[in-house]
Amino acid sequence: MAELITYREAVSRALAQEMRHDPSVYFIGEDVAAAGGVFKATKGLYEEFGPLRVRDTPISEEAILGAAMGAAMTGLRPVAEIMFSDFLATCWDLVAVEIPKARYMTDGQVSLPLVIRTANGGGLRFGAQHSQAVENWAMAIPGLKVVAPSNPKDVIGLLAAAIRDPDPVLFFEQKSLYPTKGEVPDGEIVDELGVASTLRQGSDVTIVALASMVPRAVEAADELDSMGISAEVIDLRSLVPLDTRTVIESVKRTSRMITVEENPRLCGWGAEIVSIVGEECFWHLDGPLTRVTTPHIPLPSEAALEDEFLPSVARIVEAAQKVVQA
Partner 1 sequence: MTATETPTEAPPRPDADPQDVQLALYRQVVRLRRFEERAYRLFMEGLVKGTSHLSLGMEAIAAGFGEAMRDDDYTFCTYRGHAHTLARGTPMAGVMGELLGRASGVCGGKGGSMHLTSVEHGVMGSYAIIGAHLPIANGAAWSAQVRGSGQVAVCFFGDGTTNIGAFHEALNLAKVWELPVVFVCENNLYMEYTAIGDVTAVEHPAADRASAYGLESIIVDGNDPDAVYDVATTAIERARSGGGPSLIEAKTYRHGGHSRADPGDYRPPAEVEAWLERDPVPTYRTRLVDAGVDEAVLTEIEDLAQADVDAATEDAKAAPTPELQAAYRDVWADGGASWRN
Site for partner 1, rule CB under 8 A:
26, 52, 55, 57-58, 60, 62-76, 78, 93-94, 97-98, 102-111, 113, 142-143, 165-167, 194, 240-245, 276
Range 16-21 contact pairs with CB under 8 angstroms and sequence separation of 24 or more: 16/44, 16/45, 16/48, 16/49, 17/156, 17/160, 17/188, 17/189, 18/79, 18/159, 18/160, 18/163, 18/164, 19/45, 19/48, 19/49, 19/53, 21/188
3-state secondary structure of 143: coil
Tell me which H or E stretch contains 274: helix 269-280
Cα–Cα dist 24/72, whole Å:
10
| Phi-psi category of residue 260: left, alpha or beta, with phi > 0 → left and psi -120 to 50 → alpha | beta
Write out the catalytic residue numbers.
61, 130
Nearer to partner 1, 241 or 300 (CB): 241
Contact assessment for residue 125 and residue 308, using Cβ atoms and an 8 Å cutoff: no
CB of 296 to partner 1, least distance (A): 25
CB of 183 to partner 1, least distance (A): 28
Phi, psi of 291 (to 5 degrees): -110, 135
CB of 81 to partner 1, least distance (A): 15
Nearer to partner 1, 62 or 219 (CB): 62
Among candidates 177, 258, 262, 261, which has minimal Cα distance to 224? 258
CB of 68 to partner 1, least distance (A): 6
Q: What is the DSSP letter of 86?
A: G
Cα–Cα dist 197/234, whole Å:
6
CB of 275 to partner 1, least distance (A): 12
Among candidates 53, 60, 67, which has minimal Cα distance to 91? 60
Nearer to partner 1, 26 or 87 (CB): 26
Residue 147 CB partners (closer than 8 Å, separation 6+): 158, 159, 162, 169, 170, 171, 172, 193, 237, 238, 239
CB of 29 to partner 1, least distance (A): 12
CB of 146 to partner 1, least distance (A): 10
Task: Please count the CA atoms within 13 angstroms of the CA of 297 that sit on its side-chain side.
Answer: 12
Residue 100 CB partners (closer than 8 Å, separation 6+): 141, 142, 143, 144, 168
Nearer to partner 1, 214 or 236 (CB): 236
Cα–Cα dist 272/36, whole Å:
36
